[in-house]
A and B are shown apart, each in its own frame.
Chain A
Amino acid sequence: MSLSVENLTVYYQTLQGQVKALEDASFTLADGEIMGLAGESGCGKTTLGFSLIYLTDQMRYIKGKVRLNGKVVPIWDNRKMDKFRYQDISIIPQYAMSAMNPTKKIGKMVKDLVQSRGLDYSEIEQEFIRRVRLVKLSEDILKMYPIELSGGMKQRMVMVISTLLNPELLIADEITSALDVSTQKAIAEMLVDFRNRKFLNSMIVITHDISILYQIADSIMVMYAGQLSEKGPRDAIINSPKHPYTKLLISSLPKIGIKYQEEKLTGIPGKPPLLLKPPVGCRFRDRCPLSYSKCKEVPPFVEVEKGHFVGCWKAVEENV
């Protein structure tokens, strides 16, 4: 088992109080598994991704255990996490490609990064260049400034750099959103390729675009308002989802082949709750067509079929 997360709870400290952004998340990732993490804005997916590697100033670790290959990961201690970052757990944050220092050449940037980790650049250089070629870029790119590269090229560089030390776990946060459609395909396929070549072990791909996940993920986990709704194999989530939110979400996605005049899709009326004082129990119950009295208790995240977990009382009932 590669990654195991138990009851991870992380809040944000704000002037008005604590925002309960992530509540009791428990799930596992197998070796080599690419899990897509999907949900709408404010659902907590970026919080979950970040809490596994770096707690920002406003984040507060409340409770929970994270284990990587059996070893406990001290996510509550930013300094202890230094050892894990980049080597064991790596992240490609959103907007990474626009966050490159515009005054440093690419090669210098990589050298500085590697050396800041206490490693010798010359030992890694060969492998690094090999990988740069692998993603169809030439070595010359090391002598260029970020502004000279296109979006696709930058994203590829970011991917090579983040996985240079063959991390156990890679967290990719919205890495395809800002790209053109053809570049998106290339980058997404590259992610899978990296996994196949064992440049990384398992991966969490965070995005709001479920159709990309369909193309590259082995499993998909859906979140809503800080709680886990459902996790399961890709086909199960897309074709036979069990959580009412997942069902409504999937059915609201326009696809080529569906026309308004022939088949009207429906959305989910209402909006997500504010997480400063979230509703007790299941946070989807105010918008859920199936909610009933039991939903005032937080539903446990249970395995209803092999590898398929749901956090919903009704779904569990129907499966028994």
Chain B
Amino acid sequence: MFKLENVSKIFKVGTFGGKELIAVDNINFSIDDGEIIALIGESGSGKTTIGKMILRLIDVSSGKIIFKGKDISRYKNDKLKQYYRRVQGVFQDPFSSINPIFKADRIFESVREEFISGISKIEWNKKVENTLLRVGLNPEHILNKYPHQLSGGQLQRFLIARALLLNIEFLIADEVISMLDASTRIDVLNLLGKLRESGLSILFITHDLSLGYYISDRSVILYKGRIAEMGATQKIYHHPMHPYTKMLLASVPQINQEWDRDVILVEDGGQWNEGGCVYFDRCMNPEKDQQCEYQPPELIEVEPGHFVSCWHI
């Protein structure tokens, strides 16, 4: 369904755009129909930038984003609007995603105005009701309310419903549950799983490994704008090969699994080696060498579907 080819994003920073910040560096991966891919990374990994590029909220600096055979990375205006009938997004902060001074329903109205203007009122109301039920919300309790009268979990489902009104084929979920309470997170997560079962593909962007494990079929581990490791979720989590993936799995707090107190990890000091492997400064692989320092490793398929970018595995 989606294929990202050599996608990069370079930001100009500093006064008069003197310096360059490479947020995403030559990313290549694909997303199939009916699967949930977890895009996993910490701050600075580029995961949100990739999501926004796929949604065309940010321009691609170079490379192609191919959706069902067509390169959408430079779409504008009408073509872009058609694209939005099939691809939508939901973001992290439900209270920031809805204009607080209007009623929450207004976001549905906007969708109707822009995309489905010909529809009759009765048909529309029915469509809204059905979609709300589909995401597990009770129309009576939800309609005609202001955002601050609803909870974060309800609003996120509201926002997912908005995307579903368009019969989309692909949804980008960017940290959609990180601001929700623990007891409502799982409901939204389960909803995403249910939607996948009905054919929707989802790009699930998160920093939380356990969520990725729970819901995704494949995972892409990002570090400083490059792919460290990629493949079937279970394979990666149980047999990680990239030093960064291993470090992530060792430092994530898990219930009923105590940390190895002897393992001391190198923390992110903010600098990174741009000439070679981006993980060089923090890498604890005993075989780390000059090649790592000066040559950026390529993404190699070590077993079917499992890719790693490291010189020494």
Query: Footprint of B on A, CB under 8 Å?
Result: 40-41, 150, 152, 180-186, 188-189, 208-212, 214-215, 238-239, 248-250, 252-261, 264-269, 271
Contacts and interface: CB of A to CB of B under 8 A. Distances in A.
Interface string B184-198: 111101100100000
Interface stretch (B51-59, B68-76, B256-264): B256-264
Contacts, number: 124
Contacts of A40: 181-183
Contacts of B107: none
B106 to A, nearest CB: 22
Contacts of B268: 150, 152, 180, 182-183
Contacts of A253: 182, 210, 255
B184 A271 contact: yes
A254 B210 contact: yes
**Most-contacted residue by chain B among A212, A239, A268 (CB, 10 A):** A268
Interface stretch (B1-9, B85-93, B160-168, B245-253): B245-253
B215 interface: yes
B95 interface: no
A150 B182 contact: no
A232 to B, nearest CB: 15
A249 B264 CA distance: 31
A258 B214 CA distance: 6
Interface in B112-133: none
Contacts of B210: 253-256, 258
A241 to B, nearest CB: 12
* Residue of B247, B251, B253 with most partner-chain A CB within 10 A: B253
Given A183-B268, A185-B265, A211-B254, A249 B183 contact: yes
A269 B209 CA distance: 24
Given A185-B259, A209-B253, A215-B259, A256 B43 contact: no
Nearest to B233: A259
Contact of A150 (B185, B207, B270): B270
A261 B254 CA distance: 20
Contact of B259 (A41, A189, A256): A189
A184 B185 CA distance: 22
B153 interface: yes
B274 interface: no
B78 interface: no
Interface of B: 42-43, 151, 153-154, 181-187, 189-190, 193, 207, 209-211, 213-215, 234, 237, 247-249, 251-256, 258-259, 261, 264-270
Contact of A208 (B43, B181, B234, B256): B181
Interface core residue of A181, A186, A264 (most chain B CB under 10 Å) = A181
Contacts of A254: 186, 189, 210-211, 213-214
A252 B182 contact: yes
A94 to B, nearest CB: 15
A238 B258 CA distance: 13
Given A256-B213, A265-B190, A183 B267 contact: yes
Contacts of B154: 271
For the complex of A and B, the 8 pairs showing the least CB-CB separation, nearest first, are A268-B183, A40-B181, A211-B253, A267-B186, A254-B214, A185-B251, A254-B210, A267-B187
B193 to A, nearest CB: 4
13 contacts: A181-B42, A182-B248, A185-B251, A185-B259, A185-B265, A189-B261, A214-B255, A249-B183, A254-B211, A255-B210, A255-B254, A256-B254, A258-B210
Contacts of B209: 256
Nearest to B154: A271
Contact of A260 (B215, B255, B256, B261): B215
A191 to B, nearest CB: 13
B219 to A, nearest CB: 11
A210 B185 contact: no
Given A182-B251, A254-B189, 8 more contacts: A181-B42, A185-B251, A189-B259, A208-B181, A238-B256, A256-B209, A256-B210, A259-B214
A195 B94 CA distance: 39
Nearest to A239: B256
Contacts of A261: 193
Contacts of B189: 254, 260, 265
A261 B181 CA distance: 23
A119 B265 CA distance: 37
B221 to A, nearest CB: 12
A188 B248 CA distance: 16
